[in-house]
Amino acid sequence: METIKTRFAPSPTGSLHVGGARTALFCYALAKKLGGQFLLRIEDTDRARHQEEAVEKIVEDLRWLGIDWDEGVIVGGDFGPYRQSERLEIYQQHIHGLLESGKAYYAFDTPDELDAMRQEAQARKEDFHYPRPKKLPCLADAKAARSAGKPVVVRLACPAGDVTFRDEVFGDVTIPADQIDDFIIQKADGWPTYHLANVVDDALMGVNFICRGQEFLGQTWRHVLLRDALEYPEPQYAHLPLIMDMDGRKLSKRDGDVEVDTFRQHGYLPEALLNFIALLGWNPKGDREKFTLEEMTELFDVAGVGKSNAKFDRDKLLAFNVDAIADAAPKRLLECFTDFLSFHDTPLAGLDDKTLQSILRSCQGFRTFMDILHKVDVLFAADDSYQFDPKAVKKVMLKNDGAGYAMLADILPLLAEAEWTAEALEAWMGEYCQTNEIGMGKVAQPIRIAVTGTTISPPIFDTLVFLGKEKTLARIQRCLSQRNAG
């Protein structure tokens, strides 16, 4: 039996979208499960929409997720080049062959002429089909048209009849003959269309299992006809269901992050995102939802991919992230945290590993690294630079005639004398609370607001030790004077 070869073939028009990451992951898992190969090809024939940085970004995002490819850009292989922009000659040879055999033909209609034809078809209440001329234009006709300033394209002469192909997810798909049209395979600028380049490359690179998003399902008949015309063998197809937001709309930036790099910058662990993405349309047997990439690959089966739209449940992703954080070894967590910090302009980025590790330990309960940044950044800020959260001030400081402020004023001289370790401060506060018959929260919360501006911070004694006595006292003093000023 032939070994399986899959590919991810992104067009570099921007960052890697979670939908693209899912395609890459499923293609990877399909190939690895069956001992096959997975390749990465860059489809950059659309020169107008091409972004060079996007290629690097896609490569980086895939690597961050832990998805490696056996063949393709960067790593090379026997069937390169793996960027379509470097394969123009190959496409032109194929187009030439199709023209020679009469399976394709030149056409040179201007956009206005095409519009007029479309409108006529509409007036007749018919679908527009490009009218293939009885006598196909020859090369001399094409040259003359080009000299006359007309756009010269090449169209595939599609055979009459329905097109049927098998999809591993959607079953047998039939496109009726009346929806089939002589489509363009070479544009007026001499570049192939996506359809031609895609089909030629899959065939030449030995890709025999095409797995991609459902948005390409409606295009596949073109690829089937092109393969037939080029006499290349037909691959297997699997189209992956659409990914929707929780309201059933197409997933978009409007409701949050949709690109892999934004999840990275917002403090998610790659293993959590990968695990979450794996479940977008794939249903492993049983109740198990948590797995590593290796485990997912082991379990993966295209029969487990459903047709129904997948839901992008952000709460679930957050919960996955919380679990992944809890499961991560300290070294791994530190590695991810350091990577996260490299995207942010924060003093934390300059700290040594030991300090970062102690911050990670003391910030237990964080959901993403962003939570830590919010909590901890204030500790590094200048003592007079942060704001006091008005809601927290109202609730904790101003209630009962400003009991919070009164307490701060009371402890200020005592703290000035206190021994400055977490244990000693804890013991001191316990004693103070006992003497004054109040709960720890009544003391800890006002201090927290005074030194961080909010009621959320790492454990209070760690926070105070981290700040040091001098800064703690200065911050409490500032909090008191703000009240007096207000």
Among 4, 5, 6, 10, indicate the residue that binds ligand GLU (CB under 6 A): 10
For residue 74, the Cα-to-chain-centroid distance in whole angstroms is 21
Tally the residues of the chain: 486
472 binds ligand GLU (CB under 6 A): no
User: Out of 143, 250, 253, 399, which one is annotated catalytic?
Assistant: 253
| Residue 198 or 472 having the CB closest to ligand GLU | 198
CB of 122 to ligand GLU, least distance (A): 29
Phi, psi for residue 186 in degrees, rounded to 5: -135, 130
CB of 224 to ligand GLU, least distance (A): 13
- Interacting residues of 81 by C-beta distance below 8 A, sequence separation 6+: 87
CB of 219 to ligand GLU, least distance (A): 8
Q: Give the closest residue to 454 by CA, choosing from 358, 365, 366, 376.
A: 376
Contact range with ligand GLU by CB under 6 A, out of 5-13, 185-193, 312-320, 385-393: 5-13
9 binds ligand GLU (CB under 6 A): yes
CB of 332 to ligand GLU, least distance (A): 31
| Residue 99 or 211 having the CB closest to ligand GLU | 211
- Interacting residues of 103 by C-beta distance below 8 A, sequence separation 6+: 156, 157, 229
Contact range with ligand GLU by CB under 6 A, out of 9-17, 341-349, 352-360, 435-443: 9-17
CB of 439 to ligand GLU, least distance (A): 59
Q: Give the three-state DSSP class for 408.
A: helix
- Interacting residues of 132 by C-beta distance below 8 A, sequence separation 6+: 105, 155, 157, 182
Among 4, 43, 264, 324, indicate the residue that binds ligand GLU (CB under 6 A): 43
Q: How many CB atoms lie within 10 A of CB 386?
A: 17
Print the binding letters for residues 199-218 with ligand GLU: x by CB under 6 A, - otherwise.
-------------x---x--
- Positive or negative, the CA dihedral 446, 397, 347, 472 is negative
290 catalytic? Reply is: no
Among 15, 45, 198, 445, indicate the residue that binds ligand GLU (CB under 6 A): 198
Among 6, 11, 45, 452, indicate the residue that binds ligand GLU (CB under 6 A): 11
Is 185 within 8 Å of 98 (Cβ atoms)?
Answer: yes
Cα–Cα distance measured from residue 44 to residue 13, given in angstroms and rounded to the nearest whole number: 8
Q: Which residues bind ligand GLU (CB under 6 A)?
A: 9-11, 43, 198, 212, 216
Q: Which residues participate in catalysis according to the annotation?
A: 253
